[in-house]
C-alpha cells in the first residue's frame, strides 16, 4: 500500500504542470477509444460467465472514463495479440501491463496503480527453493508476459515453454508434462480456485514485485496525462482504495498466509509442545504435592503419637523445632518455643549440662548420650537424651537433633528401691545371727 502511494505521489508531481490544460472538455479527444486487455488475467481483467469484460482494471477504467467523460469500447483477447496491437498503435489503451525499462521503448505508461508479485507453480511432489533449481527444468511462462521478457533476455532457463495465457500454463503443469510455471500470484490463486485445479503448490519465486499500470502507445501521452490526473484524484478521495480492497483483500490475506505459513506452522507446533509440557508439568506437580501431603500426614501422625520428645537446635541451643510431646511436657505452644533458647525453658543446671554435651559434638564425634533431671515450672522429671549432630548443607552451621525419653518413672522406681534396700539393711542389722552379703562390685 505504501509503495502505491509513493508511486502515485512522485508521478503526479511530474505530470501536474502538464495535464491541467488537457482536463478541459474542449481539449479532450472526441473519438471512441479502443481499450483492450488480457482475457485470462484475473482478478485484474478477464471475461466473466456472460463473456463480458470484468475485473479490477475494467472497473477502475470505467470510473476514470466516467470522470473524464470519455467515449470508449473495451475488448479483451489473447495477451500477445492485444500487446502487439498497442505497439503498432492499432488501439488506444491497454487496461494493464507490467512496467519495465525495456517496454518504455514502445509504451507510454500511466501511474502504477498496483504491484504484481510472482509465484513458482509446481506439482505437490516437486519442491523448489529458488530460481536456481529451475535452470535445467521445463519452465512455462505466458507468451509476451514480463516473465517471458525476463527469462529470454537473461537466459535463466534452458527450456522455456510458452503458454497462450496463465490458465493454459496451470493446466500444462497439472498435466505433469512440465516442471514449473512462473505466474502472477493473484492470477494463479484466482484461476486455481475458479477452475478447481488441484494438486499444485505455489512457491515464493524470489522475484522482486513489478509495478502494474495502464499503457498507451508512444506519441499518445496527452491521453495518458488525463488518465493520470483522474487516477490521482481517485486515490485522493478514497475511491481507488475502496475498489482495490473489494478485489484484492481476500488475495492479500491468502498471500500473507502462503508467505508465512511455515513460520505459522512452527509457531503452532511450538505452542502445542509448550502447552503439552505445561500440562504434564502441572500433572507432575500435583502428583508430587499429593505424595508430599500423604508423607506429611504420616509424619504428623508419627510425631503426634511419639512419646519421646524431639528437639532440633543450633549448637548455641536455639530451638528450631519442638515435637508436640515436648510442648506438652513443658506446657508451651510450638510458636512460643521456636527461636527461643532451651536455657529459657529448663533450669540452669540442666541447661548447663546439656550445653556442655552439644558443644563437644563434631563430625568426628557426632553422637552423645545424657541422662539428667530437668525442672520446668518447679516440676521435676528425668530425660534420657540421644544427641546427634546434623550436617545440613543449606544451614550456615551444623544443627543438633536431640531425642529424649521420659525416664522419670524409672528413676522414681530406682530411688524407691534404694530407700527400701536401706530400710531393709537397717532392719536386718538388728536381727541376731543374720549376715548380709552384697553382690555389688
Query: Residue 424 falls within a domain, yes or no?
Result: no
Query: Residue 382 falls within a domain, yes or no?
Result: yes
The reported pLDDT for the residue numbered 69 is 93
DSSP state of 370: E
Residues 40 and 178 in one domain: no
Residues 325 and 313 in one domain: yes
Query: Residue 366 falls within a domain, yes or no?
Result: yes
Return d(Cα 37, Cα 82) in angstroms, integer: 6
The reported pLDDT for the residue numbered 298 is 56
Residues 217 and 108 in one domain: yes
Residues 225 and 186 in one domain: no
Residue 391, all three cell numbers: 550436617
Instruction: Tell me how far CA of residue 290 lies from CA of 171, 280, 299, in angstroms.
Output: 64, 15, 14
Query: In angstroms, how far is the first alpha carbon of the chain from the final one?
Result: 112
Residues 5 and 26 in one domain: yes
Half-sphere exposure of 409 (CA within 13 A, CB side): 2
Query: Residue 312 falls within a domain, yes or no?
Result: yes
Query: Residue 429 falls within a domain, yes or no?
Result: no
The reported pLDDT for the residue numbered 18 is 43
The reported pLDDT for the residue numbered 324 is 85
Residues 253 and 197 in one domain: no
Residues 50 and 129 in one domain: no
Contact between 7 and 112 (Cβ < 8 Å): yes
Contact between 191 and 170 (Cβ < 8 Å): yes
Half-sphere exposure of 160 (CA within 13 A, CB side): 19
Residue 376, all three cell numbers: 520446668
The domain boundary residue, chosen from 287, 302, 317: 302
Residues 5 and 122 in one domain: no
Residues 312 and 298 in one domain: no
Query: Residue 21 falls within a domain, yes or no?
Result: yes
The reported pLDDT for the residue numbered 21 is 45
Torsion of CA 184, 80, 94, 203, to 10 degrees: 0
Residues 224 and 282 in one domain: no
Q: The CATH number of the domain where 395 resides is what?
A: 3.30.450.20
Query: Residue 141 falls within a domain, yes or no?
Result: yes
Beta strand pairing call for 138-142 and 93-98: unpaired
What b-and-e string marks burial along 57-77, b requiring 16 or more CB atoms within 10 Å of the CB?
A: bbebbeebbebbebebebebe
DSSP track, 379-415: EEEEEEEEEEEE--TTSSS-EEEEEEEE-HHHHHHHH
Residues 160 and 270 in one domain: no
What b-and-e string marks burial along 334-365, b requiring 16 or more CB atoms within 10 Å of the CB?
A: eeebeeebbbebbbeebbebbbebbeebeeee
**Residue whose cell numbers read 506519441:** 219
Write the pLDDT tens digit of every residue in 165-192: 999 999 999 999 999 999 998 889 889 9
The reported pLDDT for the residue numbered 278 is 84
The residue segments making up the domain with residue 295 are 249-302
Q: The CATH number of the domain where 219 resides is what?
A: 3.40.190.10
Query: Residue 432 falls within a domain, yes or no?
Result: no
Return d(Cα 34, Cα 88) in angstroms, integer: 13
Residues of the chain whose pLDDT is less than 70? 1-30, 250-264, 294-307, 392-396, 430-441
Q: What domain count does the chain have?
A: 4
Write the pLDDT tens digit of every residue in 403-415: 888 888 888 887 7
Residues 94 and 224 in one domain: yes
Amino acid at each position: 500500500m505504501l509503495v502505491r502511494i509513493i508511486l502515485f505521489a512522485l508521478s503526479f508531481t511530474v505530470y501536474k504542470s502538464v495535464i491541467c490544460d488537457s482536463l478541459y472538455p474542449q481539449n479532450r479527444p472526441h473519438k471512441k477509444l479502443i481499450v483492450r486487455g488480457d482475457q485470462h488475467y484475473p482478478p485484474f481483467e478477464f471475461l466473466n460467465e456472460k463473456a463480458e469484460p470484468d475485473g479490477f482494471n475494467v472497473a477502475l477504467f470505467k470510473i476514470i472514463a466516467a470522470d473524464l467523460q470519455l467515449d470508449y469500447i473495451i475488448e479483451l483477447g489473447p495477451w500477445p495479440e492485444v500487446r502487439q496491437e498497442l505497439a503498432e498503435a492499432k488501439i488506444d489503451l491497454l487496461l494493464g501491463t507490467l512496467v519495465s525499462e525495456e517496454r518504455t521503448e514502445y509504451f507510454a505508461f500511466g501511474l502504477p496503480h498496483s504491484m504484481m508479485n510472482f509465484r513458482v507453480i509446481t506439482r505437490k511432489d516437486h519442491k523448489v527453493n529458488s530460481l536456481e533449481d529451475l535452470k535445467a527444468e521445463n519452465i512455462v511462462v505466458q507468451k509476451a508476459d514480463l516473465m517471458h521478457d525476463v527469462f529470454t533476455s537473461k537466459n535463466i532457463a534452458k527450456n522455456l515453454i510458452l503458454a497462450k495465457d496463465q490458465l493454459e500454463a496451470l493446466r500444462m503443469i497439472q498435466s505433469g508434462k512440465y516442471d514449473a510455471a512462473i505466474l502472477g500470484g493473484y492470477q494463479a490463486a484466482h484461476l486455481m480456485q475458479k477452475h478447481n485445479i488441484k494438486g499444485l503448490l505455489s512457491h515464493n519465486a524470489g522475484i522482486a514485485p513489478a509495478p502494474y499500470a495502464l499503457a498507451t502507445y508512444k506519441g499518445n501521452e496527452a491521453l495518458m496525462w488525463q488518465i493520470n490526473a483522474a487516477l490521482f484524484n481517485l486515490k485522493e478521495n478514497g475511491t481507488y482504495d475502496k475498489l482495490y480492497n473489494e478485489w484484492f483483500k481476500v488475495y492479500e490475506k491468502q498471500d500473507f498466509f502462503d508467505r508465512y505459513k511455515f513460520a505459522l506452522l512452527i509457531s503452532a507446533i511450538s505452542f502445542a509442545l509448550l502447552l503439552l509440557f505445561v500440562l504434564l508439568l502441572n500433572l507432575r506437580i500435583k502428583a508430587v504435592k499429593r505424595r508430599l501431603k500423604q508423607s506429611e500426614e504420616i509424619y504428623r501422625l508419627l510425631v503426634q503419637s511419639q512419646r519421646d520428645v524431639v528437639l532440633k537446635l543450633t549448637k548455641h541451643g536455639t530451638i528450631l523445632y519442638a515435637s508436640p510431646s515436648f510442648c506438652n511436657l513443658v506446657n508451651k505452644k510450638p510458636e512460643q518455643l521456636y527461636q527461643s533458647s532451651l536455657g529459657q525453658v529448663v533450669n540452669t543446671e540442666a541447661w548447663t549440662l546439656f550445653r556442655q554435651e552439644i558443644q563437644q559434638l563434631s563430625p568426628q564425634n557426632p553422637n552423645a548420650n545424657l541422662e539428667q533431671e530437668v525442672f520446668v515450672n518447679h516440676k521435676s522429671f528425668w530425660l534420657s537424651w540421644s544427641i546427634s549432630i546434623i550436617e545440613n548443607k543449606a544451614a550456615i552451621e551444623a544443627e543438633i537433633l536431640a531425642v529424649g525419653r521420659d525416664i522419670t518413672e524409672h528413676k522414681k522406681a530406682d530411688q524407691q528401691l534404694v530407700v527400701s534396700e536401706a530400710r531393709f539393711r537397717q532392719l536386718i542389722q538388728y536381727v541376731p545371727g543374720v549376715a548380709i552379703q552384697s553382690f555389688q562390685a
